[in-house]
Amino acid sequence: MTTLTDATTASAPTDSPTDPVRDAVLDVARRAKVASRALAMATRAQKDSALLALADALVAATDEIVAANEVDVRRGRENGTSVGLLDRLTLTPDRVEAIAAALRELAALPDPVGEVVRGSTLPNGLRLRQVRVPMGVVGMIYEARPNVTVDAAGLALKSGNAVILRGGSAAATSNEVIVGVLSRALVAQGLPADAVQSIDAYGREGAVALMHARGLVDLLVPRGGADLIQTVVRESTVPVVETGVGNCHVYVDASADPAMALPILLNSKTQRTGVCNAAETLLVHADAAPAFLPLALAALAEAGVVVHGDARTAALAPAGVAVVPATDDDWAREYLALEIAVGVVDDLDGALEHIRTWTSGHTEAIVTRDLTSSERFVAELDSAAIMVNASTRFTDGGQFGLGAEIGISTQKLHARGPMGLGELTTTKWIVQGDGQIRS
Amino acid sequence: MTTLTDATTASAPTDSPTDPVRDAVLDVARRAKVASRALAMATRAQKDSALLALADALVAATDEIVAANEVDVRRGRENGTSVGLLDRLTLTPDRVEAIAAALRELAALPDPVGEVVRGSTLPNGLRLRQVRVPMGVVGMIYEARPNVTVDAAGLALKSGNAVILRGGSAAATSNEVIVGVLSRALVAQGLPADAVQSIDAYGREGAVALMHARGLVDLLVPRGGADLIQTVVRESTVPVVETGVGNCHVYVDASADPAMALPILLNSKTQRTGVCNAAETLLVHADAAPAFLPLALAALAEAGVVVHGDARTAALAPAGVAVVPATDDDWAREYLALEIAVGVVDDLDGALEHIRTWTSGHTEAIVTRDLTSSERFVAELDSAAIMVNASTRFTDGGQFGLGAEIGISTQKLHARGPMGLGELTTTKWIVQGDGQIRS
């Protein structure tokens, strides 16, 4: 996994007055700021027609993009990159088409810019309204996923923002070609080329400079592994929204119907493992455990899931199903793999306490038939999303009907849960009078 | 002015594993987190009745509070504190009554917690809703204003948050007594004493520890001078909302009616000088300058305002009115005093460019009769509030009808402009199903 740790540990150079990388990145940011002014004034029609043009340009450049991507994939394979990461890195003609289709879907979504959030006429006659406007310049720091390059550019364009991309070395060749295609298509549409810029050429030092570009970068979104996200959150002096680390829990209450609990557990854990809304821990009420856990452990084993369990879980394992003893590391871990931590709790309070202690605040699910359990689980946990009798996998902008998402926020400031177009905007207060002064 | 610079330059101790100040502050934060859970479940009736009880308790303790405050004021006077800061620091029985009245007004405001922001039933039958919930633990770092101690505690309580206060050494004795009164009144109301805590006893190192209390502090709001705010923004690893630095502009357009422009200018500059929504720069269109500036400069001089002007301004000064040559420092400065920077611009574009270059993004006002100028000023500037033919002084939670405010955000993330009760909340997604899984 690519992390920024090396660069940030050695961040001193960016404080020097003559650092060429920092100067170059600040210049990129200044040009993005200028471009953002034109983007903020663009009409929905202009932005949507540009999105469709970007989609067409990407499809037209499929051969060039796939060829560049092969360079990255080959280098990744030589460097021993994992199969999962290689899969995320790889672009095929079908995947390029799917990425372009996502841009076309963006064009069909409503424009958040200009929405009047609230307004009134004040007693002194002032007409007050709060209107949604673009953030300005949005930075994205992400890893090895060239589709994010296009998604981020499209979301930023639709919401009227300029974007600065730092996609990491693993996908550098793919991203360079993609950004070139996007820039040329923007210019052909009469929009500024600086609306979408990459700072991959400036390496990790460039990423650090972006994190420190106060006054030029209005929002920085890290997307990737926990190490990358924590580095960005810790190092940045620009405003950051923390995304995507999901230690999600499924709690099976005493009253749960096993026939509902089992599919929810399996779907949450195994429907897709490398994503932040996959379940990482199963908690079972002691009263439900004797009937449910043998079934659940057998089903998990059959699905190829390695179980890290506490002693009570191990005691209920059916013959032939191995349970690795769970440690605190397991309760904390986001496996992103066919592994799960399993614990038996005495009651709902035990489940709430366990989740409060270990959760990353992403998504928690309860399976229950009891109204009080359901209401307490919803009210007393402090996570971005709470599911009652549904899979954790539903925490997703598309599933929630919000359209595309730039990430899933696990912080409480500004955005929480799936971040769509609206979360890439801020507001401006507009006050119209005819000479009012304050007395 | 108190700043945190010393403490933050010497922040190494907080990274040591055995720092007693850091451990003490983290313990405060942990207790606040526990208290926040009870506050999040409190009903509006409980919170409002507690607010009224806090108000009564403060009034009942007036003598004790005023006596403690005299200690702070005397020390401030001995230390050569400015008249303006001494005035903000001073509590009289009338001021204590006014502070208590603000709490009673808070009780009358709607409760933001529980508001359903949006919701729908998804095609698969899932019932989705996004509900406003408290942030959890809110930190406040502020300077020498004991009324902020009560305001912050009241706003936090009404919005269901626990609050950790760092009020600075200048008001330490007043704040200690006030926090004691508030805590006892909370307990008498059946709410946790840890809902309102002060870390003043831990000095500047304590403030630094608060800025680094990731996972325990959900929102940190600095309120005070530019140095304090910048230190908090730069140092913090917890989420921060930047407040209150206002380099606000009044632009008098070619078509402005001088009879409207002059009162707006004087009100913006002189109605109250030590506040962030006071004007600090006047820009005048070259066509309006010959008629307007002599009037304006004479009126400013009569109001005791020192004018820092460019050459074209100086050339239009009436006899007997001194114009100090303006430097770049003047265009950048938030005087918070009877001083103003004045410049003549060639046209609206010149005004927009000047404001973009120098503004802190708080409030800008245009005086004009021209629709195009008004619309361009509103659309092309990127500040929290834009006034058309109205005083900059209206950017205020109370004036906007939002009720009390905890500060005025000049950043774009989460809150922009006056931050009221709603801005002290986040949201939670609640999804209710009957066994739905993702296919």
Say if residue A227's pLDDT is above 80: yes
Per residue in A349-383, pLDDT tens? 999 999 999 999 999 999 999 999 999 999 999 99
Count of beta carbons in the 10 Å neighbourhood of residue A346? 12
CB contact under 8 A, A429 and B417: yes
CB contact under 8 A, B267 and A394: no
Shortest Cα distance, chain A CAs vs residue B363, angstroms: 9
Q: How far is CA A248 from CA A214, A301, A332, in A?
A: 33, 20, 10
CB contact under 8 A, A390 and B234: no
Chain A residues closer than 8 Å to B30 by CB: none
Nearest residue on chain B to A117, alpha-carbon basis: B117
**Rounded to whole angstroms, how far apart are CA atoms A54 and A57?**
5
pLDDT at A17: 67
pLDDT at A16: 56
pLDDT at B1: 33
Which amino acid makes up residue A249? H
- Spacing of C-alpha A386 from chain mean position: 17
Shortest Cα distance, chain B CAs vs residue A37, angstroms: 7
pLDDT at A52: 98
Task: Report percent pLDDT > 90 for chain B.
Answer: 86
Shortest Cα distance, chain A CAs vs residue B213, angstroms: 12
Of A389, A400, A432, the CB nearest to B435: A389
pLDDT at A403: 83
CATH of domain A5-242+419-429: 3.40.605.10
Chain A residues closer than 8 Å to B389 by CB: 432-436
CB contact under 8 A, A412 and B271: no
Count of beta carbons in the 10 Å neighbourhood of residue B371? 9
CATH of domain A248-399: 3.40.309.10
Nearest residue on chain B to A42, alpha-carbon basis: B379
Indicate the pLDDT class of residue A9, thresholds 50, 70 and 90. Answer: very low
Per residue in A296-341, pLDDT tens? 999 999 999 999 999 999 999 999 999 999 999 999 999 999 999 9
Shortest Cα distance, chain B CAs vs residue A77, angstroms: 31
Q: Of A276, A271, A261, which is closest to residue A342 (Cα–Cα)?
A: A261
Joined together, the tokens standing for residue A211 give 């994190």
Chain A residues closer than 8 Å to B436 by CB: 389-391, 394
Per residue in A33-69, pLDDT tens? 999 999 999 999 999 999 999 999 999 999 999 999 9
pLDDT at A1: 33
pLDDT at B50: 97
CB contact under 8 A, A437 and B239: no
Joined together, the tokens standing for residue B103 give 């709490």
Beta carbons within 8 Å of B264's beta carbon, 6+ residues apart: A435, A437, B250, B365, B367, B389, B390, B391
Indicate the pLDDT class of residue B110, thresholds 50, 70 and 90. Answer: very high
Count of beta carbons in the 10 Å neighbourhood of residue A115? 14
Q: Where are the domains positioned within chain A?
A: 5-242+419-429, 248-399
Beta carbons within 8 Å of A81's beta carbon, 6+ residues apart: A89, A144, A170
Beta carbons within 8 Å of B411's beta carbon, 6+ residues apart: A239, B241, B242, B361
Of A135, A268, A400, the CB nearest to B412: A135
Per residue in A83-124, pLDDT tens? 888 988 999 999 999 999 999 999 999 999 999 999 999 999
Work out the mean pLDDT of chain B and round it to a whole number: 93
Q: Mean pLDDT throughout B353-357?
A: 97
Residue with tokens 């079908």: A94
Chain A residues closer than 8 Å to B214 by CB: 233
User: B84 or B359, which is more confident?
Assistant: B359
User: Which residue of A231, A428, A432 is the best one to mutate when testing the B interface, meaning the one whose CB has the most B CBs within 10 A?
Assistant: A428
Q: Mean pLDDT throughout A155-168?
A: 96
Shortest Cα distance, chain A CAs vs residue B322, angstroms: 27
Say if residue A246's pLDDT is above 70: yes
User: Which residue of A382, A424, A439 is the best one to mutate when testing the B interface, meaning the one whose CB has the most B CBs within 10 A?
Assistant: A382
User: A18 or B366, which is more confident?
Assistant: B366
pLDDT at B437: 98
Say if residue B188's pLDDT is above 90: yes
User: Which residue of A241, A360, A394 is the best one to mutate when testing the B interface, meaning the one whose CB has the most B CBs within 10 A?
Assistant: A394
Nearest residue on chain B to A378, alpha-carbon basis: B430
Indicate the pLDDT class of residue B16, thresholds 50, 70 and 90. Answer: low
Chain A residues closer than 8 Å to B219 by CB: 412-413
Count of beta carbons in the 10 Å neighbourhood of residue A119? 12
Chain B residues closer than 8 Å to A432 by CB: 374, 388-390
CB pairs A-B closer than 8 Å: 191
| CA-based torsion, A170, A174, A178, A181: positive or negative | positive
Per residue in A270-302, pLDDT tens? 999 988 999 999 999 999 999 999 999 999 999
Chain A residues closer than 8 Å to B218 by CB: 412-413
Beta carbons within 8 Å of B268's beta carbon, 6+ residues apart: A437, B248, B250, B278, B279, B365, B391, B392, B393
Per residue in B23-74, pLDDT tens? 999 999 999 999 999 999 999 999 999 999 999 999 999 999 999 999 999 9
**Rounded to whole angstroms, how far apart are CA atoms A287 and A355?**
19
User: Which residue of B423, B429, B432 is the best one to mutate when testing the A interface, meaning the one whose CB has the most A CBs within 10 A?
Assistant: B429
Shortest Cα distance, chain A CAs vs residue B27, angstroms: 16
Give the three-class secondary structure for B343. Answer: strand
- Estimate the crossing angle of helix B371-380 against helix A20-41, to 10 degrees: 140
Say if residue B231's pLDDT is above 60: yes
Per residue in B111-132, pLDDT tens? 999 999 999 999 999 999 999 9
Of A237, A380, A384, the CB nearest to B429: A384
